[in-house]
Structure 1
Amino acid sequence: MTLPPTRIGRSIYLQLCPRIQSTFAYKGIIQPPNRSMASSAKASSRLLDVKDSEWKPAFIYGTAWKKERTAELVKLAVQNGYRSIDTAAQPKHYQEDLVGDALREVYAQNVVARKDLYVQTKYTTPAGQDPSNMPYDASAPLEDQIHTSVASSLKNLRPSPSSEEDSYVDALLLHSPLPTVEQTLQAWSILESYVPGKIRSLGISNVTLPVLKSIYENSTVKPSVVQNRFYPQTRYDGLLRAFCSQHGITYQSFWTLTGNPRLLKSEPVVQLSNDVGVSNEAALYALVMDQGIVVLNGTTSVKHMEDDASGIRKVREWAQSNDREWSAIVEAFGRAISSNLV
């Protein structure tokens, strides 16, 4: 039975950004959206009846702050079902080279093929770098900084030691806007020259709605990804997420747990947790994904990797059999984050 797309979040699955899908079909990680939903912010999620064989939780593994454990944890994440990886050319917080080491190992072991992984990285401005350990010369012109950073990322993330010429990333994000909108647009224009060859799509992190609109209105290659904090201080990015939904931009959340201690204990989250028999964390992840959001998950625990995925799967199975109760919880959660009641 096909459920009508009448509410935000009728699914634990996310709506795929059409722009990314058209380029590389998102590696089979997520399914193409219902085209009739693309222009409606009120119908931004996938339906609950996505085939079980095709369904996956909408997680992307975050590699920040993993330090010397980066390679080990990336391999564990891939071995435990993650098919999306986030990193950055920012040695201060990320070990992009170790991410590449881990990915080459899982490719060589036939755990997964490069074509079946989504890998995104970032260009970080000098303000976000450790001056003693940078991937480019901070005194160089912006264009040179970006070209050097991209070259470093492509080398780090190459699929095999001898395949640098075949290296590409599925998305490259500006880690933040630059000091002015004009500089941000300049950086974006430089990155556009790599699309769709070495970089398949572009995005931006830590962005406000006015800046995102400026990029969208003034770019040739439109943003495909926004990665922001999902927390009450920004009113959960309600207006920005609506803009993303209306323009086919995938919204990725970080600080989903750590930035939301009250939301984690809110009535709809606790009710879902109790009704299904899963942790509050899994219930919150499920409800956030149900808003059409891809969640960054940077856990260092294999048990949490397994529990998060199995918990969301249990929520999905329960929701398929308890549509009325599920819809009520979804609507209560939507009211809570839209009115900042938590």
Structure 2
Amino acid sequence: MLERCKESCGLCGDSPAIGADGTGSLDPRAIGNVVLNSGHAMPLVGFGTAGLGDMTATATKWALQAGYRLVDTAQAPEWYREDLVGEAIRAFLASGGATREELFITSKLHPRDHGAERAKAMLESSLTNLGVDYLDLFLLHYPACWGTLCGGVEPQGTWRDSWRALEELQRAGKVRSIGVSNFDVNELRELAEWARVEPAVVQRNSDIFSADKEARQLCESKRWQYEAYSSLGSQWLMRGHRENPVLTHADVKRIARKKGKSPAQVVLRWAIQHGQIVIPRSSNRARIAENLDVAGWTLGDDDMFALDALDGHPPFVQ
């Protein structure tokens, strides 16, 4: 597991100064960071912006005001509004809420834009949308097009061509860290053998029912930071569940009652204690703030064991 920043480990700290309505803020130093293999520090908890639509700017503003300093977006218009994330970031920086150096901004290259020159051009597009002159992290969103994702557009190259471009962009200072999202284990192994600059971050879906152990173990062995999306279980809703099985499972609710925390806080804390960076998403101001309150307390071994036992046993579709 990567070294925790000693001055802010995320395992101790005061309670957040956040009201029940989500107003107020948590000191970002209490949240904690990991040091990536690129040498840069990345917050343990970030704000995910997928699926927020027209609420993106408002929700991102609330997240920044609550104390989030990692913001995750992407170039895929099917799920993200990178331009509205940029609107919120520009306003927050202009208000003096933080300096650019205090923010950690992630975007991702759409697979239809694979290819060396196209990847470089799209990085410039993200910088314009976000109103910044560098990204903290740039990921390949998918290794290739699938289904109707690319809308019939034929990419100019492969993920390998794009990776070479990311390596160049990092050397040029346009990107501080590079990585991949949604690569399977075989693709990650190929990348490990082929890359001149190894990925700093690997982003994949992980939750208590699908803990993604093999990929996580590979990342740990390579000193690649594992970053989880949909830790709160939203992927299960897309698979046909009427309600979120992660947040409604009896063990999660029992542990939440015992700890005086919400089910969302419990599963986020579980992920963090397994070395994962998490990027929960919400359009509710109070929940946005609540999801950040995962420092200053831990889950005991018995709680972790109970949650670990759920891996590989997803509930039936309801």
Aligned to 2:263: 280
Q: Is the 8 A contact 2:45 2:70 kept in 1?
A: yes
Aligned to 1:256: 231
When the two chains are superposed, the root-mean-square deviation of aligned CA atoms in Å is 2.7
Aligned to 1:191: 166
Q: How many residues align?
A: 269
- Look up the SS of the partner of 1:252 in the other structure: strand
Aligned to 2:104: 118
Aligned to 1:145: 118
| Residue identity matched to 2:58 | E
- Look up the SS of the partner of 1:226 in the other structure: strand
Q: Is the 8 A contact 2:282 2:288 kept in 1?
A: yes
Q: How far apart are residue 89 of structure 1 and its match?
A: 1.6
Aligned to 1:229: 205
CA deviations on 1:134-159 (whole Å, 9 max, x unpaired) are xxxx7xx8233212211101222233
Map 1:15-94 → 2, pairs under 5 A:
16-20=34-38, 22=39, 24-26=40-42, 29=43, 58-94=44-80
Q: How far apart are residue 91 of structure 1 and its match?
A: 2.6
TM-score if structure 2 supplies the norm length?
Answer: 0.76
Alignment partner of 1:174 out of 133, 136, 140: 140
> Is there any run of 5+ residues in structure 1 with no aligned partner, and where?
1-9, 30-57, 127-137, 160-166, 320-324
CA deviations on 1:74-96 (whole Å, 9 max, x unpaired) are 11110011110011122332221
Q: Is the 8 A contact 1:65 1:94 kept in 2?
A: yes
Structure with the largest fraction of strand:
2
- Look up the SS of the partner of 2:176 in the other structure: coil
Distance 1:264 1:97 in 2: 31
Q: How far apart are residue 66 of structure 1 and its match?
A: 2.2
CA deviations on 1:35-91 (whole Å, 9 max, x unpaired) are xxxxxxxxxxxxxxxxxxxxxxx3211122222222222111100111100111223
Q: Is the 8 A contact 2:281 2:288 kept in 1?
A: no
Alignment partner of 2:301 out of 327, 334, 340: 327
Q: Is the 8 A contact 2:140 2:181 kept in 1?
A: yes
Q: Mark the CA change 1:263 to 1:179 in structure 2 (over 3 Å): closer, same or farther.
A: closer
Q: How far apart are residue 340 of structure 1 and its match?
A: 3.8
Distance 2:78 2:245 in 1: 30
Distance 1:155 1:293 in 2: 30
Q: Mark the CA change 1:264 to 1:68 in structure 2 (over 3 Å): closer, same or farther.
A: closer
TM-score if structure 1 supplies the norm length?
Answer: 0.71
Matched, 1:240 2:206: no
CA deviations on 1:186-224 (whole Å, 9 max, x unpaired) are 221121111141011111111101101111111011111
Q: How far apart are residue 16 of structure 1 and its match?
A: 2.1
Distance 1:302 1:269 in 2: 22
Q: Is the 8 A contact 1:124 1:176 kept in 2?
A: yes
Name the stretch that deviates more: 213-222 or 87-96.
87-96
Q: Mark the CA change 1:75 to 1:200 in structure 2 (over 3 Å): closer, same or farther.
A: same
| Residue identity matched to 1:106 | F
Q: Moved runs in structure 1, 4+ residues, more than 6 A?
A: 12-15
Alignment partner of 2:275 out of 288, 292, 302: 292
Structure with the largest fraction of helix:
1
Alignment partner of 1:215 out of 181, 188, 191: 191
Q: Is the 8 A contact 2:207 2:271 kept in 1?
A: no
Alignment partner of 1:203 out of 175, 179, 184: 179
Q: Mark the CA change 1:151 to 1:341 in structure 2 (over 3 Å): closer, same or farther.
A: closer
- Look up the SS of the partner of 1:195 in the other structure: helix
Q: Mark the CA change 1:300 to 1:14 in structure 2 (over 3 Å): closer, same or farther.
A: same
Distance 2:220 2:32 in 1: 11
Alignment partner of 1:301 out of 262, 276, 284: 284
Q: Mark the CA change 1:218 to 1:295 in structure 2 (over 3 Å): closer, same or farther.
A: same
Q: Mark the CA change 1:144 to 1:186 in structure 2 (over 3 Å): closer, same or farther.
A: closer
- Look up the SS of the partner of 2:309 in the other structure: helix
| Residue identity matched to 1:177 | P
Name the stretch that deviates more: 238-247 or 182-191.
182-191
CA deviations on 1:222-245 (whole Å, 9 max, x unpaired) are 111111112578x42111001111
Q: Is the 8 A contact 1:14 1:293 kept in 2?
A: no
Q: How far apart are residue 253 of structure 1 and its match?
A: 1.5
- Look up the SS of the partner of 1:149 in the other structure: helix
> Is there any run of 5+ residues in structure 2 with no aligned partner, and where?
1-9, 13-30, 147-156, 237-243
